[in-house]
Structure 1
Amino acid sequence: MYPDRVLSGMRPTGALHLGHYHGVLKNWIKIQHEFECLFMVADWHALTTHYDSTLGLENHVWEMVVDWLAAGVDPNQATLFIQSRVPEHAELHLLLSMVTPVGWLERVPTYKEQQQKLTDRDLSSYGFLGYPLLQAADILLYRANRVPVGEDQVPHIEFAREVARRFNHFYGREKDFEANALEAARKMGNKRSRLYLELRTRYTERGDAEALLAARDLLAEAQNLSLGDRERLFGYLEGNAKPILAEPQALLTEASRLPGLDGQKMAKSYGNTLPLRLSEEALAHKISTMKTDEARKLRTDPGEPTRCPVYAFHKLYSDEKTLTWVEDGCRTAGIGCVQCKQPIIEQVILELRPLRERAQLYQEDPTLVRNIIADGCERARRLACDTLRDVREAMGLVYS
């Protein structure tokens, strides 16, 4: 019904680190060649938890975008934009808030988790309560049907699906819908039209899931249908009316397996990160100070690699021969922790060297970054306006 479109975003926290690169950016670089992708600087989302500390926000935005570009996110393949520069996000959020029960927001798993975790901040604001709905509006505004997330974020995508379904239930109606849907079916030709209606009957009357899939495939292959007719037939197929908002699906991605320098999750708040544009000398020094297996208090003490944060880096960066060398050398005390870290230092420096060189281009010419974002905001806003036009019309908010 809608093109395969991806929406993903990051809160602007400034320059990114190696955990961001392996956890998000490498996946973006891959999927930008597979789908129509929109990558969003989620600056409004940053305000939901840091509304009282916005002094460095602008600099954080541009630093993060430089890292995206330096990592290989291609503005010729994907649309890069800033959330707050597309005001339709706020309008759709407002309109969706009219039909979204408060109980749905309170049941989002991360709502209470974040309140318990971020005890140093006052999170008793509507912005924090409503951020899953703003996130849903971000996705639904572009009719994105794929959203790359880790398993912990799947409930947010389910929430967005429920919001889209509820909106479509209330407003996805048009005058003479069934007659228009049957007329659209006739445009498929007699044979295909009959098959479509048979499959629809099998699904709506007997719950035949295979018939539903077959009918969807039939519509996807129909070349002579307009977008409006295709939408009607998808809606009619499932017993609904014309769907206004697309229901997104989670595109599951692997979480970054890299720990921070102290063995905890790599995060700026812990001060344990490896920034992507850190100098080679500073990278080498930071990695050389990484925490290792605490059982190895002396060079002659044997250790256990699976207890060591450095080993997590080896599993990502090292070949089988090096892994065997690390495992045997650690368990027999045949190598010391300094020796164990050296291959990682070399590999991380090698990986980040071209990234740092590409970043130099954007640092020297900030207007290049501004122009890329301006073009992306314009493209994003065109898509957003198309959706908002349909939403306003469906809700009766168009006045002639």
Structure 2
Amino acid sequence: MTNATQPIILTGDRTTGPLHLGHYIGSLRSRVQLQHEAKQFLLLADTQAMTDNVGRHQKVTENVVEVALDYLAVGIDPDKSTIFIQSQVPELAELTQYLLNLVTVSRLERNPTIKEEIRLRGFERDIPAGFLTYPVSQAADITAFKATLVPVGDDQQPMIEQTNELVRRFNLTVGREVLVECVAVLSHVPRLPGIDGKAKMSKSLGNAITLGATPDEISKAVHDMYTDPNHLRVSDPGQVEGNVVFMFLDAFDPDTAAVDEMKAHYRRGGLGDSVVKRRLNERLQALIAPIRERRMQFERDRAGVLEILRQGTMRAREAAGATLSEVKGALGLNYFGS
């Protein structure tokens, strides 16, 4: 178990679908390591996922267990990391309500992350209120556990800045240090594109390789991967930059010297796409096979997985409840002495 002097980390995923290799390279591997170095809370963000899935709530709830299975399959240990369900910790919703009083609508609309996500979803001015205010919900998630470190991508830095703004505003308002500021832990791993070359890898876009993919699904995905459209013959010089196969090899092939040699050969010509894809397929099959096997083992005991989530959620409620009690006390909302 983690030592009380260790840093507290909060991280998590929206429960809108099974996790894929983009999640694995971007965060899951580091979370497995971090659980040995810090007190880690892993949030299954179903409440947040509801903010832009109106009418698709069943998809959100069904994927809670799917994401939990992925966590367990990659090596998250529930004895070292607290895995919990956001919607089942009502203390987070109450803390969100108090923090909402400390931020304006115009400040939320200026948040670069929110602005970009509103654009991507085509909301324009028809923005669901829950979606607009989810940075405050995220701030509650972080501050409820007094997390000091929050692993995020570059695009999420504005969310951490807004969290710290709210922490400072709250502490100034009540005249004492109650909530704790956090630090963004940035991933140094480039974001993986989809197998079609598009910037975003997503199961819903059909351009992702999930962590539970079968051997045939992996082989088909690699076969369909975007390479260099001008590399028509084996003898033609090929372009490595923007070539999805080489981007995946950079991410998953530990033999960097061999990959560098393949890149040089590809650039000068004489190396076919099929050879490069064959190597990548071998690497991905070896990587995913044990993850898939562990996932299948956990899936056979879904009741056991739900029990892990129940216990983790109880621990999360205890931690969040302690912070909420401090917050309510600082605001004078402890009418009955508790």
Change (3 A) 1:161 1:321: closer
Secondary structure in structure 2 of the residue aligned to 1:165: helix
How far, CA to CA, are the matches of 1:399 and 1:269 in structure 2? 48
1:12, distance to aligned residue in structure 2 (A): 0.3
Confirm whether residue 140 of structure 1 aligns to residue 143 of structure 2: yes
How many Å apart are 1:3 and its aligned residue?
5.6
Shift of 1:55: 2.2
**DSSP 3-state at the match of 1:270:** coil
Instruction: Give the deviation of 1:154 after TM superposition.
Output: 1.2
Q: Helix, strand or coil for the counterpart of 1:49?
A: coil
Does the 8 Å CA contact 1:304/1:330 hold for their aligned counterparts? yes
Distance 1:289 1:253 in 2: 28
Cα distance in 2 between the residues matched to 1:306 and 1:342: 19
- Post-superposition offset of 1:59: 1.5
Q: Which residue of 2 aligns with 1:251?
A: 185
Name the stretch that deviates more: 147-156 or 265-274: 265-274
Q: Which has the larger radius of gyration?
A: 1
What is the aligned partner in structure 2 of residue 161 from structure 1?
164
CA shift in 2, pair 1:120/1:280, >3 Å: farther
1:80 paired with 2:16, answer: no
What is the CA–CA distance in structure 2 between the aligned matches of 1:311 and 1:166, rounded to whole Å?
47
Q: Following the alignment from structure 2 to structure 1, what is the Cα–Cα distance between the partners of residues 14 and 211?
A: 17
Greater share of helix residues, 1 or 2? Answer: 1
One-letter identity of the residue aligned with 1:294: P
Matched, 1:375 2:311: yes
Instruction: Report how many residues are paired.
Output: 331
Quote the residue 2:247 is aligned against: 312
What TM-score do you get using the length of structure 1 for normalisation? 0.79
Report which stretch shifted further, 295-304 or 378-387. Answer: 295-304
Q: Deviations over 1:355-394 (max 9, x none)?
A: 1111111111101100100110010011111111111111
Cα distance in 1 for partners of 2:191, 2:133 equals 30
Q: Percent identity?
A: 37
Selected match of 1:127 from 126, 130, 142: 130
d(CA) in 2 for partners of 1:307 and 1:386? 49
**Deviations 1:320-345 (CA, angstroms, capped at 9, x unpaired):** 44224312331233221001111110
Question: Partner amino acid for 2:88?
Answer: R
User: Are the aligned partners of 2:52 and 2:128 in contact in 1 as well (CA < 8 Å)?
Assistant: no
Cross-structure match for 1:281:
216
1:120 Cα deviation from its structure 2 partner: 6.6
After superposition, the Cα gap between the structure-2 partners of 1:357 and 1:168, relative to the gap in structure 1 and judged at 3 Å, is: same
Describe the SS at the equivalent of 1:386. Answer: helix
Q: Check conservation: 1:305, 1:326, Cα contact below 8 A.
A: no
Long gaps (5+) in structure 2: none
Deviation of 1:103 (Å): 2.7
The one-letter code matched in structure 1 to 2:180 is: A
Give the TM-score taking structure 2 as reference length.
0.93
Specify the SS of the correspondent of 1:282.
Answer: helix
Q: Which residue pairs with 2:275 in the alignment?
A: 339
Worse-matched range after superposition: 19-28 or 98-107: 98-107
Equivalent residue number for residue 32 of structure 2: 29
Structure 1: give runs of 5+ residues left out of the alignment: 173-241
Give yes or no for contact 1:150–1:255 (8 Å, CA) kept in 2: no
Match of 1:19 in 2: 22
Change (3 A) 1:326 1:155: same
1:249-285 CA-partner distances (Å, limit 9, x unpaired): 1122234442221111322243111111111122112
Structure 1 residues 49 and 335, CA gap change in structure 2 (3 angstroms) = same
Letter in 2 for 1:359: R
Q: Is the 8 A contact 1:168 1:243 kept in 2?
A: yes
Aligned to 1:298: 233
Give the SS at the match of 2:278.
helix
Amino acid at match of 1:305: V
Give structure 1 regions of 4+ aligned residues with deviation exceeding 6 angstroms. none
Matched, 1:5 2:8: yes
CA distance in 2, matches of 1:257, 1:369: 29
CA shift in 2, pair 1:388/1:64, >3 Å: same
Question: What is the rounded CA distance, in whole Å, between the counterparts of 2:124 and 2:46 in structure 1?
Answer: 18
